[in-house]
């Protein structure tokens, strides 16, 4: 379907008819959160939760970045004296843990929580109280981890926590317990967010948004959520075993008692390799969403892109052993993982080539989000190619656990995920805040980040070849690593400045940015057909989707759904083919998910110190869940539809129906 | 196979200049069969991928230039079906080319792996058992005659051109044995025994490092590898087989007394004396080693500081500070310096 040519510029919301004004009024009353602090805490609006989630994850990103900066200061010169080995080990562990568990996964889920319901054209996320719960879990987990870190009980055995170094014998004290308990805890957040996103995508799509019309970002979030559902239980099992080894006296990882330290590596990497794709796949969704607006054409190769995403998921689960080539894996087994690792370059290649083809055949506008996409292409391809090298067992045995690997995965994670994320922040900033981000500062930020990033991480390839291992708190002057390290530190300052410019830009633009209007970039997905910021109820009329680019094809005369009640929190459920299926009432806002999250957090932290945590937690959690599931009072109950208000047609067919 | 001999020469020249005072640790400066073959594989992949990267970047730039042909025009573009078809063909062709390159890499990888594993099928001339400890390497030369077994720490001499078999075990946590100039890594894992093979192709001094994070002093877990001619190697091995020499001076004799009567013997051993601790490095020939605590050069001043309070040099290491009097300290250091 070819989009019709359209002018640019912010599209003003069409003047409302009196009927629409009263509908707006009613929906606003139904869907708004209650006023005051209690209302704020209880909110289960996916936009509130998404915003909080994104801001919290970005705060953790800043904290993780500061830790990285401290490490760069320590390593700027040989025999550095900024940090001692104990503090350095805590800091690099916290850096990895923060960036992986408290920034990268949550921020991707957060963007999904905010955007997916809007993109599929529904009024709310599935299981809104669970969404609220997942945010509070994430917040409490992150805050607790940092609290212990500031109390000098920060984990210090690396974010990968290899046993037996992380076991009871070689890491006495509470540091590792804190890590394994809080990581377990925080993963609940990602798991529940994934379930919400899967169900939202499968059941809450607007009528007409059949499988072949689902926006690519929603596809990306869907496959990511499936990866989370299959990968997270693995790391939870691993860290549960670690916890019982440490606290209860089991011997899962203790070789002396018939356990095996390698078990940890298998179970951990079975999660931690897919995790890379859990971070990267949503980023490809951002790229595919940003491109159409700035190339003035639908992204090239929709089907190929979707199939690549799905292929990535499947292959992504078959790569974990490439983190373990040096452990003495039999050669035949290693060969299989070499082939699988190389194979994943094919779906990634397909995506990159499709994006380049979109730019080639499009009408390019180089606004800030698009610059981040171009930066992403240059950096991600380089990171991908160095990844292909590491698929080769003999080569990997040399570069494994050196700065070459540090360079590689920062190219794919910062280049491949953080650059698209920043593009996405600029791209959806007007939708979320209603104001345009500053363009000049945006471009400045991009330039600083791109130059700073390469200055920081490119020299690390060379350091790796020169034999510099990872996770060293210092190095000797005679190693000859000083020059590249100093360069990397200078690059880190530039990179940090680039991040800072975006923060300042966001702060300034929220206050002084030009009003954005519904669709300032003239983008193609559904969230751009509702005002910015979106009202609590998302869409005045639930849309009926008739193309892959509803943002370009919908007009005021386009079909909408009628019969979904506006006086209670009712959403339309659709089938896999996006045929209207049934109506469902969603729960009201509630403070109980937060209370339950607090109870769970207390239990997990307490469990590091005393087995009494189990009975105490059972009681606290029980109270939380009872409050959560408490039935609505009669007054809150959604009244059944009054028959006299229905038209003859509605009486016959029942709501909802599609008004064409 | 050398994709860019000039770059290669430049890289190697730069790194050998930088590390002339200690052993080299550049993985592309192969001094062993394993490292040399990997370096060849590296240059093959690097050359091909560098070309690929340049081509992809050129395609991105070309796409941006072409996409910018009318930047003021914000209308939608509708590619003609013919153009769309051409793009499908181009993208498919590049994907096919990607698959072909990956397959070639796969073949190259398997053939390199196969060549390397052939080393494992040749009988070993020297067998050395390496035990990883927090944070040093215990190096034990195996010999059918038990009294000929030689134990050193953080130092390994091997003969050039001979097949050396390494048996890798760990006494505590996971470490990874890595001498970049000779071969890739192999982990030392508690409860597992790994084996690797080395075949050095030129003499020289090379640096070994721990490749797996192993705790506080992972950064200072080094190993010096000296590759020698067969003759020199045998001479070295003979000298290491000897028990510690009888000290000649009074000071040194007093030092030995302090050593065997003091706390040192709890952990260390010196063959030829009563000291037979086994949790810390064997010191029988400590003076012949290039570094102390695998950290600082083996000089009298460093040795003095190390014995007094090694935590100053290598914070967190397992050796406690010793409360020795000045005289005792001088005597012990003087004695240790005789252990060539």
pLDDT tens by residue, A331-378: 899 999 999 999 999 999 999 999 999 999 999 999 999 999 999 999
Pick the residue with more confidence: A649 or A41?
A: A41
Q: Give the per-residue pLDDT at A549.
A: 93
Q: Give the per-residue pLDDT at B21.
A: 38
Degrees (nearest 5) of the Cα angle A498, A499, A501?
65
pLDDT in tens, A242-276: 999 999 999 999 999 999 999 999 999 999 999 99
The CA distance from A259 to the nearest CA of chain B, in Å, is 9
CB A5 within 8 A of CB A522: no
Beta carbons of B212 and A162 less than 8 Å apart: yes
pTM of the model: 0.93
Q: Give the per-residue pLDDT at B75.
A: 73
- Number of alpha carbons in the 13 Å side-chain half-sphere of residue A58: 16
Question: What would the mean pLDDT of B80-108 be, rounded to a whole number?
Answer: 95
The CA distance from A529 to the nearest CA of chain B, in Å, is 18
Q: Does residue B15 register a pLDDT over 50?
A: no
Question: What would the mean pLDDT of B316-334 be, rounded to a whole number?
Answer: 92
Give the number of other CB atoms < 10 A from CB of residue A590: 21
Whole-angstrom distance, CA of residue B213 vs CA of residue A146: 23
Contacts of B81 in chain A (CB under 8 A): none
ipTM (interface pTM): 0.93
- List the single residue in A261, A349, A397 with the smallest CB-CB distance to B95: A349
Q: Is B83 on the interface with A (CB under 8 A)?
A: yes
For an interface test with B, which of A255, A268, A287, A356 has the most B Cβ atoms less than 10 Å from its Cβ? A356
For an interface test with A, which of B114, B173, B196 has the most A Cβ atoms less than 10 Å from its Cβ? B173
At A466, give phi and psi (nearest 5°): -80, 5
pLDDT in tens, A179-190: 999 999 999 999
pLDDT in tens, A24-63: 999 999 999 988 999 999 999 999 999 999 999 999 999 9
pLDDT in tens, A82-116: 999 999 999 999 999 999 999 999 999 999 999 99
Residue corresponding to tokens 């991908």: A384
B222-228: strand order across its sheet: B155-159, B222-228, B204-210, B175-179, B183-188
Concatenated DSSP letters of B75-123: S-----HHHHHHHHHHHHHHHHHHHHHHHHHHHHHHHHHHHHHHGGGSP
Q: Is B3 on the interface with A (CB under 8 A)?
A: no
- List the single residue in A7, A261, A374 with the smallest CB-CB distance to B191: A261
Residue corresponding to tokens 């289960």: A44
Whole-angstrom distance, CA of residue B304 vs CA of residue B327: 12
- List the single residue in B26, B57, B68 with the smallest CB-CB distance to A465: B26
Q: Is B102 on the interface with A (CB under 8 A)?
A: yes
pLDDT in tens, B282-310: 999 999 999 999 989 999 999 999 999 99
Contacts of A467 in chain B (CB under 8 A): 25-27, 180, 207, 209
Q: Does residue A645 register a pLDDT over 60?
A: no
Contacts of A296 in chain B (CB under 8 A): 74-77
- List the single residue in B28, B173, B184 with the smallest CB-CB distance to A170: B173
CB B302 within 8 A of CB B250: no
Whole-angstrom distance, CA of residue A498 vs CA of residue A443: 10
Q: Give the per-residue pLDDT at A657.
A: 55
For an interface test with B, which of A80, A397, A458 has the most B Cβ atoms less than 10 Å from its Cβ? A397
Beta carbons of B219 and A392 less than 8 Å apart: no
- List the single residue in B77, B112, B192 with the smallest CB-CB distance to A362: B77
> Among candidates B52, B46, B54, which has minimal Cα distance to B27?
B46
Q: Name beta bridge partners: B176.
A: B187
Whole-angstrom distance, CA of residue A230 vs CA of residue B112: 35
Q: Can you point out the beta strands (E) in chain B?
A: 126-133, 136-141, 150-153, 155-159, 163-170, 175-179, 183-188, 194-199, 204-210, 222-228, 291-292, 296-297
Whole-angstrom distance, CA of residue A287 vs CA of residue B188: 43
| Residue numbers of B between 164 and 183 with CB closer than 8 Å to A | 172-174, 176, 178, 180, 183
pLDDT in tens, A479-529: 999 999 999 999 999 999 999 999 999 999 999 999 999 999 999 999 999
| Residue numbers of B between 292 and 321 with CB closer than 8 Å to A | 295, 315-316
Beta carbons of A465 and B90 less than 8 Å apart: no
Q: Give the per-residue pLDDT at A1.
A: 33
- List the single residue in A300, A350, A476 with the smallest CB-CB distance to B95: A350
For an interface test with B, which of A163, A298, A326, A383 has the most B Cβ atoms less than 10 Å from its Cβ? A326
Residues 6+ apart with CB under 8 A from A83: A70, A71, A73, A74, A91, A473
Q: Give the per-residue pLDDT at A385.
A: 96
- List the single residue in B45, B77, B84 with the smallest CB-CB distance to A395: B45
Q: Give the per-residue pLDDT at B17.
A: 43
Where b means 16+ CB within 10 Å and e means fewer, A56-84 reads bbbebbebbbebbbbbbebbbbbebebbe
- Confidence category of residue A575, pLDDT binned at 50, 70, 90: very high
Concatenated DSSP letters of A214-274: S-HHHHHHHHHHHHHHHHHHHHHHHHHHHHHHHHT---TT-GGGT--HHHHHHHHHHHHHH
Cα nearest neighbour of A340 on chain B: B106
Q: Does residue A299 register a pLDDT over 80?
A: yes
Whole-angstrom distance, CA of residue A319 vs CA of residue A253: 22
The CA distance from B125 to the nearest CA of chain A, in Å, is 22
pLDDT in tens, B251-260: 999 999 999 9
Q: Give the per-residue pLDDT at A422.
A: 97
Q: Give the per-residue pLDDT at A195.
A: 97
Q: What is the CA radius of gyration of chain B?
A: 27
Q: Give the per-residue pLDDT at A418.
A: 97
Please give the helix or strand (H or E) that residue A584 lies within, else none: strand A580-585
Average model confidence (pLDDT) across chain A: 92
- Confidence category of residue A629, pLDDT binned at 50, 70, 90: very high
Question: What would the mean pLDDT of B105-121 be, rounded to a whole number?
Answer: 92
> Among candidates A281, A280, A274, A289, which has minimal Cα distance to A115?
A289
> Among candidates A141, A136, A230, A215, which has minimal Cα distance to A185?
A141
B126-133: strand order across its sheet: B150-153, B136-141, B126-133, B163-170, B194-199
> Could you tell me how many CB contacts below 8 A there are between chain A and chain B?
276
């Amino acid at each position: 379907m070819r989009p019709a040519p359209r002018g640019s510029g912010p599209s003003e919301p069409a003047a409302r008819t009196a009927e629409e004004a009263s509908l707006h009024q009613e929906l606003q009353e139904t869907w708004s959160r209650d006023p005051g602090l209690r209302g704020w805490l209880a909110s289960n609006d996916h936009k509130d939760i998404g915003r909080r989630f994104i801001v919290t994850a970005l705060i953790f990103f800043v904290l993780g970045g500061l830790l990285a900066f401290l490490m760069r200061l320590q390593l700027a010169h040989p025999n550095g004296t900024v940090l001692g080995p104990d503090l350095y080990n805590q800091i690099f562990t916290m850096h990895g843990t923060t960036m992986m568990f408290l920034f990268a996964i949550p921020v991707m889920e957060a963007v999904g929580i905010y955007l997916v319901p809007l993109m599929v054209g529904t009024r709310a996320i599935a299981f809104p109280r669970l969404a609220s719960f997942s945010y509070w879990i994430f917040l409490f987990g992150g805050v607790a981890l940092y609290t212990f870190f500031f109390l000098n009980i920060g984990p210090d055995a690396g974010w990968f926590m290899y046993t037996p170094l992380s076991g009871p014998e070689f890491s006495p004290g509470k540091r590792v317990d804190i890590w394994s308990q809080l990581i377990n805890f925080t993963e609940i957040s990602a798991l529940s967010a994934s379930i919400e996103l899967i169900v939202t995508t499968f059941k809450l799509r607007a009528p007409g948004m059949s499988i072949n019309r689902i926006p690519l970002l929603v596809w990306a979030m869907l496959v990511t959520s499936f990866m989370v559902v299959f990968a997270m239980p693995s790391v939870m099992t691993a860290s549960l075993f670690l916890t019982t080894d440490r606290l209860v006296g089991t011997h899962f990882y203790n070789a002396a008692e018939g356990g095996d330290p390698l078990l940890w590596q298998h179970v951990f990497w079975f999660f931690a390799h897919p995790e890379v794709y859990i971070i990267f796949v949503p980023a490809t969704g951002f790229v595919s969403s940003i491109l159409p607006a700035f190339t003035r054409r639908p992204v090239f190769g929709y089907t190929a892109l979707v199939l690549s995403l799905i292929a990535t998921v499947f292959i992504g689960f078959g790569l974990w052993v490439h983190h373990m080539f040096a452990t003495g894996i039999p050669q035949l087994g290693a060969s299989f993982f070499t082939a699988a690792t190389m194979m994943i370059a094919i779906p990634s290649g397909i995506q990159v080539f499709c994006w380049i083809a979109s730019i080639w055949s499009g009408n390019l506008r180089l606004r800030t989000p698009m610059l981040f996409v171009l930066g992403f292409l240059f950096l991600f391809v380089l990171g991908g190619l160095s990844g292909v090298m590491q698929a080769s067992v003999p080569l990997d045995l040399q570069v494994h656990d050196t700065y070459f690997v540090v360079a590689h995965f920062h190219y794919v994670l910062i280049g491949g995920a953080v650059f698209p994320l920043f593009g996405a922040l600029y791209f959806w900033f007007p939708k979320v805040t209603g104001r345009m981000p500053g363009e000049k500062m945006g471009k400045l930020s991009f330039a600083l980040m791109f130059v700073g990033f390469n200055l920081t991480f490119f020299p690390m390839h060379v350091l790796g070849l020169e034999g510099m291992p990872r996770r060293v708190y210092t190095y000797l002057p005679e190693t000859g690593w000083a020059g590249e390290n100093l360069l990397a530190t200078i690059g880190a300052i530039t990179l940090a400045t680039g991040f800072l410019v975006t923060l300042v830009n966001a702060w300034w633009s929220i206050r002084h940015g030009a009003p954005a209007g519904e669709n300032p970039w003239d983008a193609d997905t559904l969230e751009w057909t509702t005002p910015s910021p979106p009202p609590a109820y998302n869409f005045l009329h639930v849309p009926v989707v008739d193309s892959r680019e509803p943002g370009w094809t919908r007009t005021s005369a386009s079909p909408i759904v009628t019969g979904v009640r506006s006086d209670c929190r009712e959403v339309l459920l659709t089938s896999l083919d996006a045929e209207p299926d049934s109506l469902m009432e969603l729960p009201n806002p509630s403070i109980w998910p937060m209370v339950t999250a607090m109870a769970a957090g207390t239990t997990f932290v307490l469990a590091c110190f005393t087995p009494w945590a189990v009975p105490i937690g059972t009681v606290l959690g029980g109270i939380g869940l009872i409050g959560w599931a408490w039935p609505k009072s009669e007054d809150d109950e959604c009244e059944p539809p009054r028959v006299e208000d229905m038209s003859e047609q509605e009486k016959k067919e029942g709501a909802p129906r599609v008004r064409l | 196979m050398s994709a860019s001999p000039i770059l290669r020469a430049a890289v190697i020249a730069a790194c050998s200049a930088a590390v002339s005072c200690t052993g080299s640790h550049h993985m592309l400066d192969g001094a062993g069969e394993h490292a040399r073959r990997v370096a060849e594989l590296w240059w093959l992949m690097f050359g091909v991928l560098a070309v690929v990267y340049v081509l992809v970047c050129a395609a991105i730039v070309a796409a941006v230039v072409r996409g910018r042909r009318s930047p003021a025009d914000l209308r939608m573009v509708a590619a003609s079906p013919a153009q769309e078809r051409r793009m499908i063909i181009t993208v498919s062709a590049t994907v096919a080319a990607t698959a072909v390159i990956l397959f070639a890499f796969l073949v190259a990888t398997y053939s390199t792996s196969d060549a390397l594993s052939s080393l494992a099928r040749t009988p070993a001339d020297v067998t050395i058992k390496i035990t990883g400890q927090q944070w040093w390497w215990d190096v034990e030369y195996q010999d059918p005659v038990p009294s000929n077994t030689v134990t050193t720490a953080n130092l390994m001499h091997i003969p050039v051109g001979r097949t050396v078999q390494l048996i890798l075990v760990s006494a505590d946590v996971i470490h990874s044995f890595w001498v970049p100039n000779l071969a890739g890594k192999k982990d030392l894992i508690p409860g597992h025994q790994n084996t690797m093979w080395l075949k050095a192709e030129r003499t020289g001094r090379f640096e070994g490092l721990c490749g797996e994070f192993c705790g506080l002093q992972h950064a200072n877990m080094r190993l010096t590898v000296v590759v020698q001619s067969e003759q020199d190697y045998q001479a070295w091995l003979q000298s290491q087989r000897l028990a510690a020499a009888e000290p000649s001076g009074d000071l040194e004799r007093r030092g030995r007394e302090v050593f065997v009567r003091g706390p040192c013997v709890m952990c260390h051993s010196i063959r030829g004396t009563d000291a037979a601790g086994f949790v810390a490095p064997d010191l029988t020939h400590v003076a012949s080693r290039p570094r102390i605590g695998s950290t600082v050069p083996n000089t009298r001043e460093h040795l003095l500081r190390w014995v007094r309070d090694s935590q100053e040099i290598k914070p967190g290491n397992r050796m406690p500070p010793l409360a020795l009097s000045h005289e005792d300290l001088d005597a012990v250091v003087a004695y240790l310096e005789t252990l060539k």
